[in-house]
Amino acid sequence: MSAPITEKYPNYSPGLEGVIAGISTISEIDSDRSSLQYRGYDVHDLAEQGCFEETCYLLLNKKLPTVAELAAFKKTLADEYEVPSHIYDVLRALPKTTHPMDMIRTAYSALAPFDPDYDAPSTDGDANLRKAIRIVAKAGTMVGNGHRIRMGQEPLAPRKDLGVAANFLYLVNGTEPDAKTVQVMDASLTLYAEHGFNASTFANRVTVATLSDLYSGIVTGIGTLRGPLHGGANEEAMRMILEIGEPENAQAWIDDALATKKKIMGFGHREYKKGDSRAFYLTKIAKELGIEKGNTKYGQIADILEKTMLERKNLFPNVDFPAAYAYYLLNIPIDLYTPIFVIARVSGYSAHAMEQLANNRLIRPTVIYEGDKNLEYTPIEKR
Ligand SMILES: CC(C)(COP(=O)(O)OP(=O)(O)OC[C@H]1O[C@@H](n2cnc3c(N)ncnc32)[C@H](O)[C@@H]1OP(=O)(O)O)[C@@H](O)C(=O)NCCC(=O)NCCS
């Protein structure tokens, strides 16, 4: 049997695990304490006592806002909710079967040339901040109205009197959401906003590090977030919970899944080995929501899966697991779960893009070549 690849190449870390690929002041994951801080503030405090707009302000401006600064920032965002109608024409041209993640990725691509700072150099920090605000403000509108378009409905004018979470929910349903729904959505956006050098944020930084623009970074990020090992896990987790159906089926289901070596979506994390701090908080919210809505069965299924995964695999749920059944209890269509992640994470992507561009170096790792060498070329007619 050949030696493990890491013995053969001691400097190689598959999946870049443990590799330090940058220095950042945006967020810190402390895996030992299972904690996450945005610019030094615990996400629990931000989610419980603040609002998503405050987190966006913190990520983009590197400090918490005052009352007046937050009010002005919310107004600036609301004034930027609207998108050019051409974006809706592009979305209408897509097949109705298009996944909303592909719609939002396409929407950002189409949006870039409409940005008033389109021609600004990618190193112009002021222009980048203005772009970042537009990017954050328009996400909920594009996901919400993108959903309407694929449902054969007309886009609605965004509601400037509502925050990001409420405006998005209003566009999806065509009615103003209740306060509890807005609170859960807002907290989940705060928890999803930023998470260090995760795959999509890193991909976003790789893109802007070529001195490409913020929008290209966002498009790269969304494409990377889409997969089930990353953001796509929240949709897959809900499909799994629905497949289980009832709490009495859960034990047999998970026993069988583990026996057949299935990956259980919404469990495990590259960074957190003692639990995902965001999941602790969102699990509490999701279970309370179930009690409030008189539907505790998803919480009960979750309890069984969580206990079994911990006992047998020493794995904890990640944020995508409670987010899945919280969103389901809020009647949000499953294929909007990962796009909701986008609405939140574009704030983190933008902060990282600006940080990268403020002190840039091209990101270009190296690779070990293991293919053939020095082969003799035979002209095509002689092969
Ligand atoms: C998040 C994730 C990609 C991290 O991956 P990673 O750091 O590369 O860890 P690995 O996939 O190498 O997993 C290490 C071990 O734990 C197991 N494992 C990890 N997550 C698992 C899961 N969700 N279900 C079952 N087993 C899992 C792996 O099979 C592997 O076991 P092995 O060593 O016996 O082969 C992984 O946990 C996963 O695929 N989770 C499900 C998808 C998900 O929820 N993604 C959202 C992340 S926020």
Residues 345-372 have pLDDT tens digits of 999 999 999 999 999 999 999 999 999 9
Ligand 1 centroid to Cα of residue 45, in Å, is: 29
In CATH terms, is domain 44-227+339-358 a member of 1.10.580.10? yes
| Extents of the domains making up the chain | 44-227+339-358, 233-329
Supply the pLDDT for residue 6: 84
Taking only the tens place, the pLDDT of each residue in 210-261 is 999 999 999 999 999 999 999 999 999 999 999 999 999 999 999 999 999 9
Supply the pLDDT for residue 4: 83
Nearby residues of 121 by Cβ (< 8 Å), 6 or more positions away:
127
pLDDT band at 3 (very low <50, low <70, confident <90, very high): confident
- DSSP label at residue 176: P
Q: Mean pLDDT across the chain, nearest whole number?
A: 96
Supply the pLDDT for residue 1: 58
Residue 229 Cβ contacting ligand 1 at under 6 Å: yes
Residue 267 Cβ contacting ligand 1 at under 6 Å: yes
Phi/psi of residue 230, nearest 5 degrees: -125, -120
57's enclosing H/E stretch is: helix 52-61
Specify the CATH architecture of the domain 233-329.
Answer: Orthogonal Bundle (1.10)
> Is 274 in a helix, a strand, or coil?
coil
What pairs with residue 35 in β-bridges?
A: 30
Taking only the tens place, the pLDDT of each residue in 266-282 is 999 999 989 998 999 99
Prediction pTM value: 0.95
Among residues 269, 335, 352, 372, the one annotated as catalytic is 269
- DSSP label at residue 161: T
